[in-house]
Structure 1
Amino acid sequence: MEPRETRQPREPLLPTPVRRLAAWCGVVLLVAAVGAVGVWLIVVFKTAVTPVLLAVLGTALLGPLHRRLVQMKVQRSLAAGLTCAAVVAVVGGAGYVVVTALVQSGDQIIASVRQAARALSEHFGALGTSIDDLAANSKELLAKFGGSAASGVISGLSIVAEVIAIAVLALLLIFFFLRDSDRAVATLRSLAPHATGDTAEAMGRRAFGAVEGFMRGTTLIALIDAVCITIGLLVLRVPGAVGLGALVFVFAYIPYLGAFISGSLAVLVALADRGWVIALWALGVVLAVQVLEGHILQPMIQSRTVQMHPAIILLALTAGAGLAGILGMLLAVPLTAAAFGVIGELRKRYAPVGEPTEGPGGTTSGPPSAGPGS
C-alpha cells in the first residue's frame, strides 16, 4: 500500500501578535460603540435619567439612616418616609444657609475678586485683567453655564421650575428606592440570565458600594473642609468668610478642580480686603486643609472605596462638563467610580488563579464595600 499523504497545517495568514492586536481592537471598538450609544441615550432621555441618577446618589447617601431605622423595627415605608423628611429638612436648612450666605456676601466677594484682579494686573498684566473680566461677568457666566447644565430637562419651563421638578421627582424616587431596596437583589437576579445571577449581583453590589462610599465620604470631607476653612477665614477676619465656606462645601463634590476654585476665591478676597500678609495666611489655611484632607481624611474615610487616578478623574470631569455642564461634573466621578467597581469585580472573578487583580484606578481589588461604618 502506498503511504498516505500527510497534510501540512496551513500557515496562518497573519502572525499571532497581529491577530491578537486585531482581536483587542475589535473589543475596544465594540465597547466604545456601546458606550457611545449609552451616552447618546442618556442625553436624549435626560429628562428621565437626571432624576434617576440624582435619586441613586441620594439613596446611596441616605441608605445607612434608613437601614438603622429598619433595624429599630420601624416599618419600611415609614422609615423611608422619615428618611426623606429628614433629608428635606437637612438639605433645605443647609441650602437656606448656603444661599443666604452667598446672597449676603456674593457681591462683596465679586467686588473683592475684581479689586484683587486690578492689583494683580499691575504686577502680572494679562493674568490680572483676565481675572477681572471673569469676576465682572461671573453672574452672566454662571447663568449661562448653569443653563447649559439644565437646558432641555423640561422644555418650556424656567430653570427654577426645572430644578424644583427634578428635585421633587428625585425625592419620590429616593423614597421608592429606599422602601424597595430589599427587593433590588431579587430583581437584578430575575433580569440576569440564570448562570450569571451571582456575577450580576456581585457587580451591582460593588457598583453601589462605590457610589455609596463616594457620597458618604465626600459629604463628610466637604463638611470638615468647609468648617475648617470658614474658621480660619473668620480668625483672619476675611470678609464673606461664611459664603466662602459655603462655596468650599459645594465645590468639594467636584474633586481637585472644586478645591482649586474655592481656595483661589478665598485667597483673592483676602488679598483684596486684607492685603498680602493676610492673603498668604489664607493661602496657608487652604493648603493646610488640603494637606489634612489628602493625607488624613481621605485615607481614613475613603480608603475602602474605589480609588481612581487623578488623571482619570479630570477626564471624567471634562466629559461630564461637556455633556451636561455643572450637573455632569457632579455626576461624573461617582458614576465613573461605579464603572470602575464593576470592572474591578469582573477582573477579580475572571482573572487567572494566582494573578493579582489590580483595579483600573491603581488599587488592588478587594471585597465590595459600602464605605466607612458599613
Structure 2
Amino acid sequence: MDAREDEVTRSVPRLLRTSAAVSWRFVVVIAGLYVVVQAVSYLAPVVIPVAIALLLAALLSPAIARLVAWRVPRGVATAVVLIGGLAVVGGVLTFVITEFSNGLPQLSQQVNKSLDAIRTWLRDDMHVNQQQIQDFFGRIVDTLKNNQAEITSGALSTVATVGELLTGFLLMLFTLIFFLHDGDGIWRFLTRAVPVDVRDRVDVAGRRGFASLVSYVRATAAVAVVDAVGIGIGLWIIGVPLVVPLAALVFLGAFIPIIGAVLTGAVAVLIALVANGVVPALVVLAVLIGVMQLESHVLQPLLLGRAVKLHPLAVVLSIAAGLLAGGIAGALLAVPLLAVLNSGVRSLLSNSDSQVRPSEVDATAAAEAGPAESGQAKSGQAESGSADATPAG
C-alpha cells in the first residue's frame, strides 16, 4: 500500500506537489489571521484601550525610569508621572477649547463674508437671480427639517459613543497604571506560557520589540510637535482663525504617519479658504507641503534611526489595512504594531540574539539612549529588574 502511494506521489509533477503544499499552508495562515482579526474586532472595546495604554506606557516609562534612578519608589514615581501627565493633557485641552470658543465668532463673521461674496459672484458673474439663490438655501433648510428624526437619532448615538469613550478611557487609565507600575512582572508572567528552551529568546525578542515601540513613540511625539508648531506659526502669520485648535488637530493627526498630518493639514487649508480666500489657502498649502517635506526627509530618518526601520510602502500598506480593519483606531495602532513585530521577528530570526540574555538587552537599549538613561537602566534593574526596553513599562 505504501509503495503504491509512493508511486502515485511520484507520478504527480514536483511543481504541482510543491504548489499544493504551499497553497494549503497559505490557506491555513489566512484562516488563522481571519480568526484573529475577527476576535480583535469583537473585543475592540477592550483591545483598543489596552493598546493605547501600551503606547502611553512606552511614552511615559523613561520618565519613571529617571525618577527610579533618583531613588524615588516606583509606586510614587508612577503616581507622579501619571498625575502630571493628566494635568498637562487637561490643561492643554482646556486651553484648546477656550481658544476654539473665542475664535468661533471671528470665524462666523468671515464665513458670512465669504457667503456674501459667493452670492455676489453668483448674481453678477453667473447671472443667477436672487430668488434662485434664496430657493437653494431654503431647500437646504427644508432638508434639515425633514431629516430631524435622523439627526436626533444621530445625536443619541453620539451620546452613546461618548459613554463608550468614557468607559474606554477609564479602562485605558486603569491598565496604564499597572503597565507603568509592574510591567516587567506582567511580561515575565506572560513568558511563562512559552516553552523553557525558547523562553529566554522570546523574552529578548519581546524586550527588543518594546524598545522599538519606545523609540517609535518618542520620535512620533517629537515629529508631531514640530508639525504642529510649524503649521501653527504659518497659520498665525497668514491670519487664519482658530490657530491653536488647528495646530492641536495637526499634532493629534501626526500620530498616524504620512496620512494623519496630511488630512488634518487639509482641514487647515479648507478653513483658510473659507475664512481668508484662495491666495491665503494656497500659502497655507505651501506651508503644509514644506512641513511634510521636513518631516519625511529630515525628522523621520534622524529621530527614528535604526531602532524602527520601516519601509514607507510598508507604513502606507499597514495604515490602509488598519483603517479597513479598525477605522481610525486601526490606522493609529497599525504602524506601532508593525514596528514591534518587525523588531521582535528580526530578533527571533537572528542567530546572535539566541545567545543574548534579557538583562543585556536592557543595558544595550539604555546605552543607545544615552549616558543619562544608561544610569537609569542600571538603577531600574537593581530595584525592579526592568528598564526602558522592558515590555509594558
List alignment gaps of at least 5 residues for structure 1: 1-8, 124-132, 352-366
- How far is the alpha carbon of 1:35 from its aligned partner? 1.5
Structural mapping, 1:112-123, within 5 Å: none
CA distance in 1, matches of 2:192, 2:84: 33
Aligned residue number for residue 354 of structure 1: none
After superposing on structure 2, the runs of 4+ consecutive aligned residues of structure 1 that deviate more than 6 Å are 106-111, 116-119
| Cross-structure match for 2:77 | 79
Structure 2 contact 202–348 (Cα < 8 Å) conserved: no
Give the AA of the match of 1:89.
A
The match for 1:53 among 43, 47, 51 is 51
Aligned to 1:361: none
TM-score of the superposed pair, with normalisation by structure 2: 0.71
User: 2:327 is matched by which residue type in structure 1?
Assistant: G
**Residue aligning to 2:324:** 322
Deviation, structure 1 residue 41? 1.3
SS at match of 2:277: helix
Q: Which whole-Å deviations, capped at 9, do the CAs of 1:285-308 have from their partners, x for residues lacking one?
A: 112111111111111111233333
Match of 2:31 in 1: 33
Find the counterpart in structure 1 of residue 201 from structure 2: 199
CA–CA separation in structure 1 for the residues paired with 2:304 and 2:194: 31
Equivalent of 1:164, from 163, 166, 178? 166
Q: Which has the higher contact order (CA 8 A, sep 6+)?
A: 2
Match of 1:94 in 2: 92
1:251 equivalent in structure 2: 253
Residues in 1 aligned to 2:185 and 2:350: alpha-carbon distance in whole angstroms: 26
What is the distance in 1 between the residues matched to 2:26 and 2:352? Answer: 18
Distance apart, 1:340 and its partner CA: 2.5
CA separation in 2, counterparts of 1:18 and 1:27?
A: 14
2:114 & 2:227 partners in 1: Cα distance? 26
SS at match of 1:158: helix
Q: Output the CA distance in 2 between the equivalents of 1:19 and 1:211.
A: 41
User: In 2, distance between residues paired with 1:294 and 1:162?
Assistant: 35
Aligned equivalent of 1:181, options 183, 190, 203: 183
From the superposition, tell whether residues 100 and 349 of structure 1 become closer, same or farther in structure 2 (CA, over 3 Å).
farther
Residues 310-334 of structure 1: CA deviation (Å, up to 9, x unaligned): 3333333333333333222222221
Q: Report the residue type matching 1:269 in the other structure.
A: I
Q: Deviations over 1:180-228 (max 9, x none)?
A: 1232453243221011112211221232223222222111110111011
**CA distance change for structure 1 residues 112 and 65 in 2, over 3 Å: closer, same or farther?**
farther
1:21 to 3, 19, 22: 19
Larger Rg: 2
Q: CA RMSD in A?
A: 3.7
**Pairing partner for 2:348 from 346, 349, 357:** 346
CA distance in 2, matches of 1:97, 1:344: 44
Aligned to 1:241: 243
Shift of 1:48: 2.3
Alpha-carbon separation, structure 2, partners of 1:115 and 1:318: 36
Aligned residue type for 2:81: T
> What is the match of residue 217 of structure 1?
219
In the alignment, the residues of structure 2 paired with residue 350 and residue 41 of structure 1 have an alpha-carbon distance, to the nearest angstrom, of 35
1:126-182 superposed Cα distances (whole Å, 9 cap, x missing partner): xxxxxxx9xxx9xx9xxx9xx9xxx8xxxx982222222221221121111111123
Determine the structure 2 residue equivalent to 1:364. Answer: none
5 Å-filtered alignment, 1:280-291, equals 280-291=282-293
The farther-off stretch of 106-115 and 90-99 is 106-115
TM-score by length of 1: 0.74
- Return 5+ residue gaps in structure 2 as ranges: 1-5, 126-139, 354-362, 374-393
Give the aligned residue type for 1:241.
V
Go from structure 1 to structure 2 and tell me whether the alpha carbon gap of 1:115 and 1:19 turns closer, same or farther (over 3 Å shift).
farther
Q: 1:274 to 1:45 in 2, by over 3 A?
A: closer
Post-superposition offset of 1:237:
1.4
Contact 2:107–2:275 (Cα < 8 Å) also in 1: no
Aligned residues: 324
Give the whole-Å Cα distance in 2 for the aligned partners of 1:32 and 1:349.
28
Tell me if structure 2 keeps the 8 A contact 1:113–1:268. Answer: no
SS at match of 1:267: helix
Pairs within 5 Å for 1:3-22: 12-22=10-20
State the shift of 1:251 in Å. Answer: 0.9
Distance change >3 Å, CA 91–CA 17, structure 1 → 2? farther
**2:305 matched residue in structure 1:** 303
